[in-house]
Amino acid sequence: MVSSGDQLNEFLSYLDQSLARISNLCDSAHDGQCRSFKKALLFSFIDNLSTLAYPANKSDFAKVRKLITNYGNWPDSNLLSTPHLCRWLETHPETFLPSCLEIAKTKLHEWEPGCIVPISRDMDYRAIQRHIRSGHEVAAASIDRLNHLSLLWNQRHNLIHRFMPIGLNLEFPDDNSPYYISLSSLSVIMGAPDKGPFWQLIYPTGFLFNLARTCLAGVSLNLRDKSIDIREHYRAGHYLLEELNQGL
């Protein structure tokens, strides 16, 4: 009879091999469609890890956020995207004082067009916290949607549920960290009216792969330390409704 420890090791080996196969699917540096396929698979892989690590949590986003926070080793995940922040403050002027938009725009103007800007240059929420209008503290909390963990989740949603990325699916070979690149509508779609330059946020395939690999290493160590019986979380069943497989 195979022990629960052996089953756990076998399952974790399967996950490790699956991640390697996703990485080797095709050349993600030059094929935008292939990048989208690989990213969708990597997001699905991360979803699976979050369920494995936190099976009792009902919210998919809460599970993924907890997984990345505890195991992802991503120090920039809670920074607010500066271009998104500027746009949000322009469309929600009732929540923050005008000084907040001035701070965000000043920060954005420090970025030199044509350069690659790492997300480590984005803003911390504490830098604008004191600019919340009195009585709007609850509404201001929604700005959490502009941090990179939330934006990455939005990208995941579009790839998995709409089969397309948000924005332009660009990246350079060997990119392993998220960044911004300045573009204009003319540089993207010839003949389109030029509305001026904009900053495109990129979460590269290599970044997602490293994030998945780092989370897998952390989750694997935790499961082994706690001697988790993987059979409690993954049962082979005959029926497509999980409730019908209970007791088999």
Helix (H), strand (E), coil (C) string for 52-98: HHCCCCCCHHHHHHHHHHHHCCCCCCCCECHHHHHHHHHHCCCCECH
User: How many Å apart are CA 64 and CA 50, to the nearest integer?
Assistant: 5
User: How many Å apart are CA 221 and CA 116, to the nearest integer?
Assistant: 35
The per-residue pLDDT for 119 is 97
The per-residue pLDDT for 58 is 82
User: How many Å apart are CA 53 and CA 233, to the nearest integer?
Assistant: 10
Closest of 181, 164, 169, 59 to residue 115, by C-alpha? 181
Going through the chain in order, the beta strands assigned E by DSSP cover: 116-118, 179-184, 197-202
Contact criterion met (CB below 8 Å) for 84 and 90: no
The per-residue pLDDT for 36 is 87
Dump pLDDT digits (tens) for 40-52: 999 999 999 998 8
Measured at the CA of 128, the angle between CA 177 and CA 74, to 5 degrees, comes to 25
Residue that is written with structure tokens 């609850």 in the block: 138
The per-residue pLDDT for 172 is 74
Packed helices 32-53 and 148-157: angle between N→C axes, nearest 10 degrees: 110
Dump pLDDT digits (tens) for 79-114: 999 999 999 999 989 999 999 999 999 999 999 988
Domain range summary for the chain, segments of one domain joined by +: 4-78+147-245
Q: How many other CB atoms are found less than 10 A from the CB of residue 186?
A: 14
Report residue 106 as tokens.
Answer: 């000043």
User: How many Å apart are CA 247 and CA 235, to the nearest integer?
Assistant: 10
For residue 159, the SS3 value is: helix
The per-residue pLDDT for 163 is 82
Report residue 56 as tokens.
Answer: 């009792």
The per-residue pLDDT for 190 is 45
- What residues in the chain have per-residue pLDDT under 70? 1-4, 27-30, 173, 185-196, 231-236, 248
For the sheet containing 116-118, what is the strand order? 116-118, 179-184, 197-202
Buried b / exposed e along 158-170 (16+ C-beta atoms within 10 A) = bbeeeeebeeebe
